[in-house]
Copies of this chain bind each other. A is one copy, B any other.
Amino acid sequence: MTVTQSELVLDAEAQALLFREARTANTFSDEPVTDEQMRAVYELIKWGPTSMNQQPLRIVLLRSDEAKARLLPHLMEGNRGKTEQAPLVALLAADTDFHENLPKTFPIKPDAKDIFAEPGFRESNARLNATLQIGYFFLGIRSAGLAVGPMTGFDAAGVNAEFFPEGKNRALVVANIGRPGEDAWSDRLPRLDYDEVVTTL
């Protein structure tokens, strides 16, 4: 299962940690996830590329029972139990006002902010680039030896109203984070073959 492919430079242990042996966890142990771990994850994944260095990802970490109780009613029923049990829950959102940071994050183009004056264009850029960053974030969680349980089964409008009342952030994914618990996953599901996904012209 963990054959290193000779075309890859990434070592076999890293391949296993990030992809080949990593699994989406549905149960978690009691071991806490620390702020230091989350800082280390962010300091790693912040380097992942975004369009014009937009960096629209915003993360709300829910650790207290009070904070999690605000989220639970907005999740699909089947997702509530595992989220209640997870030691840490990350609410991952796109900031549609990311352009306000561009004078600082993209100084090589001083008028970069003006390109994003139109709200619809800003929203589609924010969603796409925050989602790329969420992909990096999942692999960052695994880089810390933790399991992630991502979920998209929730009422985004309800979550946005509860956690982002100022109206500029869009919840995209909720991710449970922790050490896997008992029976944390079922059998691995099949993946599409290369030739079903890739065409070469």
A positions within 8 Å CB-CB of B: 5-11, 13-15, 17-20, 22, 24, 34-49, 51, 53, 55, 57-64, 66-67, 101, 104-108, 125, 127-129, 131-136, 138-139, 142-145, 148, 150-153, 172-173, 186, 189-192, 194, 196-201
Contacts and interface: CB of A to CB of B under 8 A. Distances in A.
Contact of A15 (B9, B44, B55): B44
A47 B59 contact: no
Nearest to A101: B192
Contact of A63 (B13, B57, B150, B201): B201
Contacts of A131: 127-128, 131-132, 135
Nearest to A37: B7
Given A51-B151, A101-B192, 16 more contacts: A5-B43, A7-B41, A8-B145, A9-B145, A10-B143, A20-B47, A47-B191, A48-B135, A51-B153, A53-B190, A64-B201, A105-B189, A132-B132, A133-B135, A134-B135, A135-B139
A161 B200 CA distance: 18
B8 A11 contact: no
Contacts of A105: 189-192
A35 B200 contact: yes
A199 B19 contact: no
B49 A138 contact: yes
A20 B140 CA distance: 12
A53 B5 CA distance: 24
